Structure 1
């Protein structure tokens, strides 16, 4: 954080950064595979497009056919084979099948062991997000203490600000716990 002039600015910046941490966690959790198909699963797959590697979303439309099948519709006719190869070579463990210029990507059901592994990954991501939130709290409290030390704020204002920053932290930690719990339920649902 740059030198914030007031306690209100510190609180505002901290809240914004905590919200960004939650958004980043949601994005990460969206890419973790569950038993269901999700177009975001293919975001990490890159296709050779005239000599450069581009994300699949830039050369094809990825959508859901049904709960367990993705459809990939290339924007150019000649790309279907390259896209199919890129998906097959990815570490997703899926086997795409071409139907003319449409590529179907069925999601195989996950084994019980794989589901447990995925919940561990989800918990790990949640723990990383909590660490980020706590680091933001620490940084904000240090900035408030510096304002008191520089005589820009009183000790009463410091106590109030630290209490409010703790409330932000608690709220965001609870949000993370809720996201993790929901994702674990989604993964373990057969």
Structure 2
């Protein structure tokens, strides 16, 4: 039973890494990318929807992103969502199309983006630590109930800790890559 538990913990830890990588792709470096707008959600039709479900996002030029909104009544909401995202973008409305020029990143903005990347990484680490805590509590309960012995419990907790350490180091390396990408002029 404890082995299946480890696979589930690993799956949940990998989910934290996947989420972090998704968040980091949303941080812009110096070039336009459709994934830049992935973290943006729009209040549409009574619920929060990802931007790419209410509009088409494209990159016609290296420093320009265009968003073509499918429902003309949603243009204002999409524009507001882009402005209020913490990405420092200022869309220009042209009918149902929003043109978003990407300004050159200055040193201060690069440092702000690095701070945001660190916040994303810290959130992922917290999620991984929660998964570790859940695993350790399960092991303690199994040991207390007599389902596993003290030695096996100790072995399993060592495996959970090793898995946690590997996942945290993977998070740190993803952060380091993104930080270098952001700071590159």
With the shorter chain as reference, the TM-score category is: 0.7 to 0.9
Deviations 1:138-171 (A, max 9, x none): 2211211211111101122112211211221121
* Secondary structure at 1:104 match in 2: strand
**Larger radius of gyration between Structure 1 and Structure 2:** 1
RMSD: 2.8
Please report how far the alpha carbon of residue 56 of structure 1 lies from its aligned counterpart in structure 2 after TM superposition: 3.6
Judge conservation of contact 1:47–1:86 (CA < 8 Å) in 2: no
What stretches of structure 1 of length at least 5 have no aligned partner? 1-5
Which sits farther off after the overlay, 94-103 or 32-41?
94-103
Counterpart position of 1:94: 89
- After TM superposition, list the pairs within 5 Å mapping 1:26-105 onto structure 2: 26-43=21-38, 44=40, 46=42, 55-75=50-70, 78=72, 82=76, 85-86=79-80, 89-91=83-85, 92-97=87-92, 102-105=97-100
Aligned with residue 176 of structure 2, among 168, 177, 181: 181
Which sits farther off after the overlay, 58-67 or 164-173?
58-67
Query: Counterparts of 1:28 and 1:34 in 2: how far apart (Å)?
Result: 13
Counterpart position of 2:133: 138
Query: Counterparts of 1:17 and 1:84 in 2: how far apart (Å)?
Result: 32
Please report how far the alpha carbon of residue 75 of structure 1 lies from its aligned counterpart in structure 2 after TM superposition: 3.4
Please report how far the alpha carbon of residue 85 of structure 1 lies from its aligned counterpart in structure 2 after TM superposition: 4.7
Query: Counterparts of 2:78 and 2:154 in 1: how far apart (Å)?
Result: 59
Q: Provide TM-score, normalisation by structure 2.
A: 0.81
Please report how far the alpha carbon of residue 80 of structure 1 lies from its aligned counterpart in structure 2 after TM superposition: 9.1
Please report how far the alpha carbon of residue 87 of structure 1 lies from its aligned counterpart in structure 2 after TM superposition: 6.7
Count of residue pairs brought into register by the alignment: 183
Counterpart position of 2:13: 18
* Secondary structure at 2:148 match in 1: coil
CA 1:143–1:109: 2 relative to 1, 3 Å: same
Query: Counterparts of 1:12 and 1:80 in 2: how far apart (Å)?
Result: 43
What stretches of structure 2 of length at least 5 have no aligned partner? none
* Secondary structure at 1:105 match in 2: strand
* Secondary structure at 1:147 match in 2: helix
CA 1:151–1:80: 2 relative to 1, 3 Å: closer
Please report how far the alpha carbon of residue 12 of structure 1 lies from its aligned counterpart in structure 2 after TM superposition: 1.7
* Secondary structure at 2:176 match in 1: helix
Counterpart position of 1:168: 163
* Secondary structure at 2:32 match in 1: coil
Counterpart position of 1:120: 115
Question: Are residue 147 (structure 1) and residue 142 (structure 2) matched?
Answer: yes
